[in-house]
Structure 1
Amino acid sequence: MPAADWWRSAVIYQVYPRSFLDSNGDGVGDLPGITAKLDYIASLGVDIVWISPFFTSPMKDFGYDVADYCDVDPLFGTLADFDALVARAHALGLKIMIDQVLSHSADNHPWFVESRASRDNPKSDWYVWAAQQADGTPPNNWLSVFGGSAWQWDARRGQYYLHNFLTSQPDLNFHQPAVQQAHLDNLRFWLERGVDGFRLDACNFHFHDRELRNNPPAALRDSTMVSSVNPYGMQAHIHDKTQPENVAFLRRIRVLLDEYQAIAIGEIGADDSLAVMGEYTTGGDKLHMAYSFNLLTSEFSAAHIRTQVEQFEARVADGWASWSVGNHDSVRVMTRWGGATPSPELAKVVLAMQLALKGTPCLYQGDELALTEADLPFEALQDPYGITFWPEFKGRDGCRTPMPWQGASAHAGFSSATPWLPVPPEHAARAVDQQAAADSPLSFARNILAWRRGVAQLGQGDIVFFDAPEPVLAFRRDLAGAPSLLAAFNLGGAALQFDWPQAAGATPLDGHGLPGAAEGAGVSLPAYGGWFALV
């Protein structure tokens, strides 16, 4: 493949800075902490390090509320620390991708401070302002992802402003050309500092319907992006996000990225996220790749995974997906898909399956250790989303607890001080230094990531699924000029055999670390087993 398409075969590793490593003893992870562990990340065999926000912020949403797009929050370090991180990563052959939260800012951002001061100042239209209805209620029925109305009254201007998330996260008005240009300038600032790409947070939220029309009720309640107890899923979000004007803005971003040979991945939370993923990645002139919440739900079956991939493939020509099964917003995959007492072997087959799908895999820190969701008491919660919907929805803190490095050390080696979130005892038992054994999830992750590099079909080939009994996921990867590759995974905890005529005469591949074998025209898979072969 052309060198420009290197990212198609790459593997992304997400770092949540607050919880990776604390280098200065304040209980919060930081940029020097990430730099200190880049050797560890490189040892995994990944290619891209996605770093969640570290910009100046009041931290009401832990960095996803930006007060200065071109500086580092002192909690995380300095610009010099960031430059050192990039230099070390590049020396290790790693690319650096940073989060960009463009749709909204913090309410103490100078832009918003000026915008809310009056209705006629130079930035008065940089945010989405609207008059109240005759009875004083909000302009329309739009809802916030974090609960309640998406509108907040502001006494300074005597108007409502739009916030798709927290009230302290006002939405920028992308219909104002100056807003678009300001963000392009911000992106250029980081490209000049050597970043290799951006992860665009909530990238379909940039524009809103100018007429502020009400959203209709949802024909089918959304349970992929939000919890079932959140009324946000009761609306069809056809006016408050995913507007057609966003395509042209993404094209402007792509022009800038191409200037620096950089890449972008978009987070898509939409009623039909697979369609939006396709629209935003086709044509080679917008995003390089996109991911949705469709594999970040509690639904776990071979049929569900097959459906998501097949539906995406059916909607794109040359677009590209990034399949993620874990991140900082979702219950950890081991608990979400494995229940209260998941087998460590589940982590292995899920990772192998993720690495074998067509698309760029995105791994979340700690999943290589088979970490489970932390069960935190209410008094330990930090996430405003969880505090609002407790106890039916406990928020996102359970997947954001500190990375365990040393099982016998205080706070598992994350910090010399009390961490911002506690380290569960069961995580300390799965710390990095506790997983030296050849059969550990960490050793497996390193092994299969290295093995994948030598199997071109997994990085570049097309995908065709086969019918198989639940919980077996079976497919073929096809690459021009190379043999086809068969892959089968047992996503369940009981051994099984299934007939697969395509397996007859296939040449099994070893070295990946999953147990499984061909038996004539069938395949035998132990619990959480897998099988690869060439035909």
Structure 2
Amino acid sequence: MAQQQWWKGAVIYQIYPRSFQDTNGDGIGDLPGIINRLDYIKSLGVDAIWISPFFKSPMKDFGYDISDYRDIDPMFGNLDDFDTLIAQAHQRDIKIIIDQVLSHTSNEHQWFIESRENTNNDKADWYVWADAKPDGSAPNNWLSIFGGTAWQWEPRRCQYYLHNFLTEQPDLNFHNPDVRKAVLDNVEFWLKKGVDGFRLDAINFCYHDAQLRDNPAKPKELRQGRGFSEDNPYAFQYHYYNNTQPENLAFMQEIRSLLDRYPGTVSLGEISSEDSLQTMAEYTADGDKLHMGYSFELLTKDYSAQYIRETVSTLESVMTQGWPCWAFSNHDVERVASRWHPSAKTDSKQVSMLTALLGSLRGSVCMYQGEELGLGEAQVAFEDLQDPYGITFWPNFKGRDGCRTPMPWQHEQPHAGFSTSTPWLPVEQQHQALAVDVQLNSEESVLKRFQHFMAWRKTMPALQYGDIEFIDTPEPILAFYRRYEQQSMLCVFNLGDQSHALPLSDKIHTEHTQLQHHNGSLNEGTLTMPGFGCYFAAV
């Protein structure tokens, strides 16, 4: 078998540190908590962990508003804790990927504090500033994802500044080479610390249109949410000018050039654009930009076989050089166990089937903490909400708190063993019964099935590195081949809750060399798939 880079086909386990494990009793997870759970993470059979931001921050957007890129917020620990985490993870052959939020800072970052003072200081041009229109209104019609205009008036400069997210998250001006250099210097700080890679938050938002042209309106029938509420005015525009500018490709090359000086490190870009699949292809092309890209295309409400087949096939047709990464859940969207169930409930069989499906698509995999337990979306009362996004758009959109509640470790302990005191978000009562200690004692649990599948997947190079070829099947059946060198596999998934019979044509006739982790049955050329079933066979 040809030698592959470690990140190709890797399973990356996303940790949202606030909600993983609290060790000091303040109700907020921390870096020592991650260290204490490294043996558990190792048992999952994953290759790397991606840790959401733990840098110094006012926490207006829970760490995605960074005030110091080179230090750790005291609520999470300190730099010594991070050094220990790196060392302990590497001892277990677990790679460490950390978030980097490059497009914007906190408004409490020293760069912004200096920049906002006047128009002639050393950092006056480090952020996106613009004069008001003659009538005093904002420079153009750009909108913030979090609601309302993307421009905030600053009385010290008598100008507006751009914020694609919260008003407390001013956008940096990447047209300024000094900004790019300073940003990359911050990235290199963590490379020198020994990290194995970066998940690059909103990486296509780094550049804006220098002419500040208005975004055109989008027809109502074309408004779709990709990581944001569909009734959000943000969906009313084509976002041609406030992100995904051509100049950003050169910056991707600068990032890659830096990482190439640290062999074995990897970049994973989060991309949300008007054509995210095309942007993923562009940002990973030619071997001189990002290593991998992922988008919100499979983080939607649509879970039909046709949608998944068309989404993956479209990316396959345009991403001829790069490497994809797929996710069904993360810290920004409703948990897949609830989002993709026909009745918005949760079903352990469906959860295990979705794990197998995600782990069988061509590319690398991001698994969000709690997916291995089959956690569904938590119900968070309005008075307990923390997410400013959800508070703004309540009640039509409840924000992101429901996927961010604490991990349940011990079902009989207060707060499910997450903390000895009241957590920052309440533990979902229904999650208590799905706690890690319960599931480790049952061979039929979602957790045990997750562990078994991931261990088996590591023995299947076709699933890790192979090409993919879809087979035309009726709803709700999704079927495809994975092929790598001498190994060829048929993978079939029933996305529905009812049993289906699938006649296998001569084209997809199998030798009936069945592989483990399947519950479909083949008899005289007909494959019977139970509800939420999956089937693997050598062909």
1:180 is matched with which residue? 180
Alpha-carbon distance between aligned partners in 1 of 2:487 and 2:43, rounded to the nearest angstrom: 29
Q: Which residue of 1 aligns with 2:260?
A: 258
For 1:344, the aligned partner's letter is: S
State the Cα distance separating 1:2 from its structure 2 match.
Answer: 5.7
- Say which SS state the counterpart of residue 123 (structure 2) adopts: coil
In the alignment, structure 1 segments of 5+ residues that lack a partner are none
Counterpart CA distance in 2 for 1:413 and 1:510 is 37
Q: Aligned to 2:6, what secondary structure does the other structure show?
A: helix
Q: 2:231 aligns with which of 209, 225, 229?
A: 229
AA in 2 matched with 1:247 = L
- The Cα shift of 1:503 comes to 4.1
How is 1:126-525 mapped onto 2 (pairs within 5 angstroms)?
126-219=126-219, 220-261=222-263, 262-338=265-341, 339-435=343-439, 436-480=441-485, 482-501=486-505, 502-512=507-517, 514-525=518-529
Q: Which amino acid aligns with 1:118?
A: N
Seen in structure 2, the aligned counterparts of structure 1 residues 96 and 3 have a Cα distance that, compared at 3 Å, is farther
The whole-number CA distance in structure 2 between the counterparts of 1:79 and 1:310 is 43
Opposite residue 34 of structure 2, the aligned amino acid is: I
Query: How far apart, in 1, do the equivalents of 2:55 and 2:34 lie?
Result: 15
Report SS of the residue matched to 2:14.
strand
Q: Whole-Å Cα distance in 1 between the matches of residues 469 and 71 of structure 2?
A: 45
Q: CA–CA distance in 2 between the matches of 1:279 and 1:500?
A: 37
* CA positional deviation for 1:263: 0.2
Structure 1 residues 62-71 or 519-528, which shifts more? 519-528
CA contact (8 A) 2:497 2:531 kept: yes
Separation (CA, whole Å) in 1 of partners of 2:23 and 2:240: 45
The amino acid across from 2:408 in the alignment is: P
Number of equivalences: 533
| Deviation of 1:478 (Å) | 1.6
CA distance in 1, matches of 2:217, 2:285: 30
SS in 2 for 1:260: coil
- Deviation readout 1:166-217 (Å, 9 max, x if unpaired): 0000000000001100111111100000000000000000000000000001
| Cα distance in 1 for residues equivalent to 2:526 and 2:155 | 70
Counterparts of 2:223 and 2:155 in 1: how far apart (Å)? 35
Normalised by the length of structure 1, the TM-score is 0.98
Query: Aligned partners of 2:116, 2:9: CA distance in 1, in Å?
Result: 46
More divergent stretch after superposition (87-96 vs 279-288): 279-288
Q: Is the 8 A contact 1:503 1:522 kept in 2?
A: no
Moved over 4 A (4+): 1-4
Residue 44 of structure 1 deviates from its aligned partner by 0.2
Cα displacement string for residues 419-473 of structure 1 (whole angstroms, at most 9, x for unaligned residues): 0000011001100001021110000000000000111100111101011111110
Q: How far 1:5 moved relative to its partner?
A: 2.3
Question: Is the Cα–Cα contact under 8 Å of residues 172 and 179 in structure 1 kept in the other structure?
Answer: yes
On the 8 A contact 2:515/2:538 being kept in 1, the answer is no
State whether residues 27 and 417 of structure 1, in contact with CA within 8 Å, keep that contact through their aligned partners in structure 2. yes
Deviation, 1:340, is 3.4
Question: Mind listing any 5+ residue stretches in structure 2 that lack a counterpart?
Answer: none
User: Relative to structure 1, is the Cα distance of residues 191 and 3 closer, same or farther in structure 2, using a 3 angstrom cutoff?
Assistant: farther
Cα distance between partner residues in 1 of 2:512 and 2:218: 49
The alignment partner of 2:349 has SS state of helix
Over aligned residue pairs, what C-alpha RMSD do you find? 1.0
Q: Structure 1: which amino acid aligns with 2:274?
A: D
CA distance in 1: counterparts of 2:139 and 2:3, whole angstroms: 49
Q: Return the alpha-carbon distance in structure 2 between the equivalents of residues 206 and 3 of structure 1.
A: 34
Alignment correspondent of 1:28: 28
Instruction: Name the CA shift for 1:136/1:2 in 2 (closer, same or farther; >3 Å).
Output: farther
User: What SS does structure 2 have at the residue aligned with 1:459?
Assistant: helix
CA 1:104 to 1:505, structure 2 compared with 1: closer, same or farther past 3 Å? Answer: closer
